[in-house]
Structure 1
Amino acid sequence: MPELIEVGRTQDATFDVTRGAVKALARELDVSETQVVHMALPKFAADVLPAYEPDDGPLTAKQVDALRNDAAQYLPKGKALASEALFS
């Protein structure tokens, strides 16, 4: 296969990678240059894309009150028999 001509960047930078760097990674990992890109993209996506959909923002006072009222029925009733402090 003929030698490919280097086109584009000649130095690695924050958002640029030289063909030489890709070749070096391929040699180091013993995979093709295409596979290097396929390996890099999921890592880049995990770093950049959110892990979950954004929520609707902070709760309103009405929603907080509703949650407190609902939770009250599940909380223990009566006098505490014992207590401990985690930090003294």
Structure 2
Amino acid sequence: MKKVTMIASGKVQGVGFRYATFQLANKLGIKGTVKNELDGTVSIQAQSDETLTMQTFIKQIRQSPTRFGRVDYLDVTLANFSDFDDFSMLN
């Protein structure tokens, strides 16, 4: 299982980025969370059984899943967190 933590910065809050990420994750079968951070970034924890699926998810996040947003920088690190049952948006 592939697990990553991502921090997206740029125009990622107030543009539907979390919801678009949520929709994309559900479409691809990705499990995890997406959350707005106080510093204006968005954090994503994601897991997938398929490496290619995770690569597709990361690529689409990097390009911004919403046309109103813009990702200037995406930090992606391998992670070791507890398994998720679904994908959810956090406050």
Is the structural similarity TM-score above 0.5?
A: no
Shorter-chain-normalised TM-score: which range? under 0.3
Structure of larger gyration radius: 1
Larger RCO, structures 1/2 (Cα 8 Å, 6+ apart):
2
Larger strand share, 1 or 2: 2
Larger helix share, 1 or 2: 1
Instruction: Give the structure-2-normalised TM-score.
Output: 0.25
